[in-house]
Structure 1
Amino acid sequence: MGCCSARCMLILLCCVQLMTALERQVFDFLGYQWAPIMINFFHIIAVILGLFGVIQCRTRYIVMYLLWTMLWIGWNVFVSCLYLDLGGLSKDSDILSLGVSSHRSWWRDNGPGCERDGLTSAGWQNQQNQQNPELSTVLSCWLEYQYIEVLHCIVQLLLALMGFLYACYIVSTVSDEEDSFNFIGEYHHPSKPSQLFF
């Protein structure tokens, strides 16, 4: 029964990981951050395959999920260090947009409680004569964007660590016989080889 409850917990964790990864993917698309978009896409695929492996008792898929989880933990630590300016990294660099665009985190201008200094049509006409007009200026936010991004990473790290632990437990308890499911979900008992008489 312990393995069954661990399987149910890992299924729940994978579902929550999928929802949070999709949410993160949407905001990375809004910020044109191409490196996180690609990594999130691979994460979604790995979690779906891991979910399939848990449901069908396929240890190979669960091991693949374990390996990806280690990479995912490393990626989230890197992104956290980037937004906190640790280890020589800078949140103002264009690493996450791969140098393709100058866009930054969507939360930079749209964070919770951010107040904007909106421009009137006369203000817009006055600024059209300048080289680089801006439509609005962010005055203050309740929580700065880099801390929102770090909170996203912390949530992903917690889910990944719990998923890693449950997946390790499942792989260690599932025997090779349980890996004989077919894609329909039917269980095939391993048959003992009959003795051949000559």
Structure 2
Amino acid sequence: MGCCSSRYTLIFLCTFQLVTALERQVFDFLSYQWAPILATFVHIVMVILGLFGTIQYRPRYVVVYAVWATIWVTWNVFIVCFYLEVGGLSKDSELLTFSLSQHRSWWREHSPGCQREEPAAGLGPPVGQAVVLGVGCTLEHGYVEALHSTLHILVALVGFMCARCVVSVFTEEEDSFDFIGGFDPFPLYHVTEKPSSLLSEQAYL
């Protein structure tokens, strides 16, 4: 019963992670955030692998998913620190875009309550990389990104714990299956013992 509940919970979590990862990938593409795009792509692959392993009873795939969950938590902790500017990080740096564009988070101009403000003519970045600022936002874009990453951290932590439970149960089931009839202590001895005793009785008679 515990196995079924953990297994179904992990299937649900993996499905939920796929939905949130695809949603995040869309916004990262809109803001040309290349580092998060690559990380989220790997995340999607690993979640699919974990989902497949859970459905098909493949503990090794679930282990890979669990290991990735710890990496994904670490990455999202970095994203939270980046947008909250912890430890000297700056959310206005080009770290996440690999300095390929001057775009920033999509939420910078689309956060709740934001008003668009076009940069002054001749003072903005090169053509094709214009940045439109959001003014008067109800929730600043750094907090939106931090909350987004916090959600991914919480789901990944729960997924990691469920994956550990599922792997332990799958492993126990495999071990118990290997021992069913696999190591009879003296199957051949019993087969050969009876004919030999019968022969000795017949010789005595």
TM-score (norm 2): 0.79
**Structure 1 position 17 matched with structure 2 position 9:** no
User: Any idea what the Cα deviations from partners look like across 1:71-93, whole Å, max 9, x if unmatched?
Assistant: 00000000100001101211111
User: How many residues are treated as equivalent by the alignment?
Assistant: 182
Structure 1 residues 14-163: aligned runs within 5 Å: 14-117=14-117, 130-132=122-124, 137-163=133-159
Instruction: Give me the CA root mean square deviation.
Output: 2.7
Distance of aligned partners of 1:135 and 1:81 in 2 relative to their CA distance in 1, 3 Å threshold: closer
Q: Percent identity?
A: 52
Moved more, 94-103 or 144-153: 94-103
TM-aligned CA distance change 1:173 to 1:42, over 3 Å: same
5+ long unaligned stretches in structure 2:
190-205
- State the structure with bigger RCO (CA 8 A, min sep 6), 1 or 2: 1
CA distance in 1: counterparts of 2:15 and 2:94, whole angstroms: 31
Contact 2:116/2:134 (<8 A) preserved: yes
User: What residue identity is the alignment partner of 2:158?
Assistant: M
The match for 2:203 is: none
Mark the CA change 1:26 to 1:135 in structure 2 (over 3 Å): closer, same or farther: closer
Higher helix proportion: 2
Change (3 A) 1:2 1:34: same
Letter paired with 2:169:
T
Compared CA separation, residues 118 and 168, structure 1 to 2 (3 A): same
Q: Distance in 1 between matches of 2:133 and 2:91?
A: 19
Instruction: Give 1:68 shift.
Output: 0.4
Q: Select the structure of larger CA radius of gyration.
A: 2
Unaligned runs of 5+ in 1: 120-126, 180-186
